[in-house]
Structure 1
Amino acid sequence: MTFNSLNFFLFFPAAAMLYFLVPQKYQWVFLLISSYFFYLFANMKFGFFLISTTATTFFAAKALGAVSDYQKITLLQNKGVFSKEQAKECKAICKSRKKRIVAAVVILNFGILAFLKYFNFLSANFNFFAKSIHSSAGLPVLKLILPLGISFYTFQAMGYLIDVYRGKYPPEQNPAKLALFLSFFPQIMEGPIGRYDDLAHQLYEPHEFDYDNAKYGLQLMLWGYFKKVVIADRAGILVNTVYSSYQSYSGFQLAITAVVYAIQIYADFSGYIDIATGAAQFMGIRLAQNFNRPYFSKTVSEFWRRWHITLGTWFKDYLFYPLSLSKAGLNLGKFGRKHFHADFAKNLPAIFGLSIVWLTTGLWHGADWHYIVYGVYYGLLIILSMLCKPVFEKINNRLNVHPEQFGWKLFRVARTFFLVCLGFILFRADNLPTAFGVMRSIFLMSRPAVGTSLLNGDFTKTDLLFFVLSTGILLAVSLLQRKMNLRETLAQKSTAVRWAVYCTAALSVVFLGVLSSNDPTQFIYFQF
């Protein structure tokens, strides 16, 4: 069931209405039933993987809690009896047990994810290599299903488990409540990736109907639908046509397409998040922010702090810092101080962590070489910018470049957007040869022997007009949001003005959107 399907338009009003009608102490139970119905509607087989992740996470967290309780009780009962060495030994034994529990469950759940997502990719590459050396060895290609949202709920589950291991909060004692935390229907398909201490209590506590929550939630959902069906789906017509035969287009046309795709993927993904956040807010539940006007970023690092924020913070908290501060990372720093310049050596632990994080980020997005290169591309950009920062600062000082000058900030934003568009070519292309072919045509500004117009087939002049106008609205709203809270500003306007805005937006979605009741366009991040 997708947010832009007729089924969801029937499901959500019914679920939201019944949520406020059931007794408040059972609201979370109703939410759990609704979430599983929403998820299993797509495919009943998906439920096995969700339940498996939930069960293993629940029992592992309980085991961690039991070990922690055993440590506390043992130390308390033997206070004044144990020597410092004995107390340390007790803590070390308990810590080792907890590490083994976490390692086992993390390996199991990420192993399931990796097998379903990457086995056929590895098989294809192994078979290709074996064939190239004339070997008869080979691996089978299996008919595997990739459950919707598995990357998102697996990351959310493992984040919860690691936090319990770290003692951030005690384990959840009710398996049904943990199941709701991992399956909450607005976010299970594409996030945002929630943190237990931010989200769980909101899911379990009772909520009364609140007019402001309902109003602001529906506003956000409407804005998300505008982004998705008016901007993203229309842009997708052009992008899909061009990438299906990119050799027929000039370098300039491919450059335009790269920009259009950057707009498409932002409108598509952030549109989904707006719909999810709005649906949750309607019921009084606040989801984590996942976007913060990323195309206004002045550096690539800043872009990734503003784009898919919850995934970035997950990697930072559970992968980057543990790697950078690990023995391997610290030893790498020591090695660097002996053999390299001090400025480079002090960055080696961070470089080590960033390299793994960005390789993992590329793999997380998909089982193909163009996704891996996509991750490596951003990792190299961020590492190089970190290493070259002192050099850039010296150059700027010599040139008397003021960092707050409007022209300089605009240049940095444009430069970052250019680099991001290049990265999105790697992301959108079906394979590496296509990605490199598109880039080559753009940089050489090539012209095909038989040129093809962008305005042909399904993408017409009318579509171009609607796309430009709707993108202009998106840009204007983003600029205004930097200075004011538009929803609160709108709330202060007269009833006539508010409803004029609502009706215009709704009519735009209905009459200008690319809609299909039989086969709605999937959200781009569904595949991950």
Structure 2
Amino acid sequence: MSFVPVYILILFFTIVIDYFAGIYIGQSQGRRRKWLLAASLVANIGVLAIFKYYNFVNENITIVMSNWGIKNPVPYLAILLPIGLSFHTFQAMSYTVEVYRGNYKPERNFGIYALYVMFYPQLVAGPIERPQNILHQFYEKHDFDYQRIADGLKLMAWGLFKKIAIADRLADIVNVAYDEPHKYHGLNFVIATIFFAFQIFCDFSGYTDIALGAAKVMGFKLVKNFNRPYHSKSISEFWSRWHISLSTWFRDYLYITLGGNRVSASRWYFNLFVVFLISGLWHGANWTYIIWGVLNGFYLIFAIISQKLRDRVARASGITRFPKLYSWIQFPTTFVLICISWVFFRAHTIADAIHILKSMFTDTCADVMSIIHTHHLQSLAPPVNKMIPAILVIAILETVHLLQKRRSILEYVNSKPKYIRWGIYYAFILLLLTFGTASHKQFIYFQF
């Protein structure tokens, strides 16, 4: 509403449609239930298609028609993409699907259902909730609880640190290389891409931590959305740790509906491909996002096809006798593959992404050798005074992640005596003031 006040009617439209669809689905039998579900899904997907994909599709049609010398008579729409549209659309659809499947009874309180769709902490960037987890909490009394509120505020503070001290700091380095890619090459892109991997994680998971913390302060529990994804040993494990609420949404409502893995091998691969293709399209109306999704789908399919061969090679080499060493090979391999896919996610165009990847693979060794021989870092785009703080904040992040392998950081801090806890709080505030930026950068996932 801050940008276009009339856009509140989009939410009102989908809320009214899904509220009544849920009630009538609960009262209906047979094919009528399917038609009611279909009407709800069409309304939600239709809104998403118009605001997010109409101009993208029309632009590509125009390009194809122009190649045949034909002018496209369909006009473009002068519309903005409402913030968080994809998130609350998917959350609304999960409600009607769960009611249709009989997993949840229709919500008859219009205000409570509207709150389910518009619950402010996670409205614009998730996590994408299910009715089973959140709706009943709106009926419960949430008394004042000092420990719960303190824990919520700590979680919000940690999310703030991830956003302004890590993500926004790394953005200044990433943007230099990715916004003008033809000015840089090789090692610059390697550094920028690794930093972007941490930037997007801290930007998105930072918002999630703030959302979970804000909800916790008020007495609500939202689902976990991230679980140290860069500590994954495989692509499939990565997607079980990254944006968990979206991954499980696609699994439960699309992948399983298509047949999941209970089909022939070729159909199984097709199902995975479709899920990741749509996942890429969900992130944005741009071919770079589509390729990003397809590439991750290819990773997963190739991993399944090559599993037996890779296991045989691992056993033959004897590496399986050293589990820790084997893990330390799997971790960086998975991280490198994810970083390669992030290039398409971050690049403005496919041509830019190809240029960046080509330069990373062909020029990086020469850049490293040049630095070794000359002992100068002038060839690097990010100056040393920006690189060192960036590396330090990433080191802080990974230290916290290592502590979280056994228990959450909140449990770790709360278990300490008061004087140590307050020492940690003051040290954290000092870190926030030292490394935090005041650049007012918007959260990346707001655009989705």
TM over 0.5: yes
Contact kept in structure 2, 1:277 and 1:286, CA below 8 Å:
yes
Q: Secondary structure at the match of 2:437?
A: coil
Contact kept in structure 2, 1:194 and 1:310, CA below 8 Å:
yes
For residues 9-88 of structure 1, the aligned pairs below 5 Å read 40-41=1-2, 43-67=4-28
Contact kept in structure 2, 1:238 and 1:454, CA below 8 Å:
no
For residues 277-296 of structure 1, the aligned pairs below 5 Å read 277-296=212-231
- RMSD between aligned residues: 1.9
- Residue aligning to 2:237: 302
- Residue aligning to 1:525: 445
Q: Which amino acid is the alignment partner of residue 78 of structure 2?
A: K
- Residue aligning to 2:273: 355
Q: Structure 1 residue 96: deviation in Å? A: 1.0
Q: Structure 1 residue 396: deviation in Å? A: 2.2
- Residue aligning to 1:189: 124
CA distance, structure 2, for counterparts of residue 241 and residue 279 of structure 1: 33
Q: Structure 1 residue 407: deviation in Å? A: 1.1
Which of 48, 57, 69 is residue 134 of structure 1 equivalent to? 69
- Residue aligning to 1:390: 308
Which of 384, 393, 408 is residue 461 of structure 1 equivalent to? 384
Structure 1 residue 436 corresponds to structure 2 residue 354:
yes
Change (3 A) 1:46 1:499: farther
Larger radius of gyration: 1
Unaligned runs of 5+ in 1: 1-39, 68-93, 334-345
Q: Structure 1 residue 124: deviation in Å? A: 1.2
Q: Which amino acid is the alignment partner of residue 494 of structure 1?
A: P
Range that drifts further, 118-127 or 241-250: 241-250
Contact kept in structure 1, 2:229 and 2:241, CA below 8 Å:
yes
CA distance, structure 2, for counterparts of residue 452 and residue 117 of structure 1: 43
Q: Structure 1 residue 138: deviation in Å? A: 3.8
For residues 128-167 of structure 1, the aligned pairs below 5 Å read 128-167=63-102
Change (3 A) 1:196 1:322: same
Q: Structure 1 residue 139: deviation in Å? A: 2.7
Q: Which amino acid is the alignment partner of residue 523 of structure 1?
A: F
For residues 100-499 of structure 1, the aligned pairs below 5 Å read 100-324=35-259, 333=263, 346-402=264-320, 405-445=323-363, 453=378, 460-499=383-422
Q: Structure 1 residue 389: deviation in Å? A: 1.2
Q: Structure 1 residue 504: deviation in Å? A: 2.3
Q: Which amino acid is the alignment partner of residue 395 of structure 1?
A: V
Contact kept in structure 2, 1:126 and 1:139, CA below 8 Å:
no
Q: Structure 1 residue 398: deviation in Å? A: 2.6
Contact kept in structure 2, 1:46 and 1:148, CA below 8 Å:
no
CA distance, structure 1, for counterparts of residue 153 and residue 379 of structure 2: 36
Range that drifts further, 149-158 or 505-514: 505-514
Q: Structure 1 residue 453: deviation in Å? A: 4.8
CA distance, structure 2, for counterparts of residue 186 and residue 524 of structure 1: 16
Q: Structure 1 residue 400: deviation in Å? A: 3.0
Q: Which amino acid is the alignment partner of residue 235 of structure 1?
A: L
Q: Structure 1 residue 316: deviation in Å? A: 0.2
Change (3 A) 1:167 1:132: same
Q: Which amino acid is the alignment partner of residue 525 of structure 1?
A: Y
Contact kept in structure 1, 2:204 and 2:445, CA below 8 Å:
yes
Contact kept in structure 2, 1:323 and 1:352, CA below 8 Å:
no
Unaligned runs of 5+ in 2: 368-375
Q: Structure 1 residue 452: deviation in Å? A: 9.8
CA distance, structure 1, for counterparts of residue 137 and residue 322 of structure 2: 41
Q: Structure 1 residue 496: deviation in Å? A: 2.5
CA distance, structure 2, for counterparts of residue 298 and residue 99 of structure 1: 41
Q: Which amino acid is the alignment partner of residue 413 of structure 2?
A: L
CA distance, structure 1, for counterparts of residue 186 and residue 17 of structure 2: 51
CA distance, structure 2, for counterparts of residue 104 and residue 125 of structure 1: 28
Query: CA offsets per residue over residues 434-492 of structure 1, 9 Å max, x none?
Result: 001100001111679xx995766xx6533322211111010011011102333222123
Q: Structure 1 residue 404: deviation in Å? A: 6.0
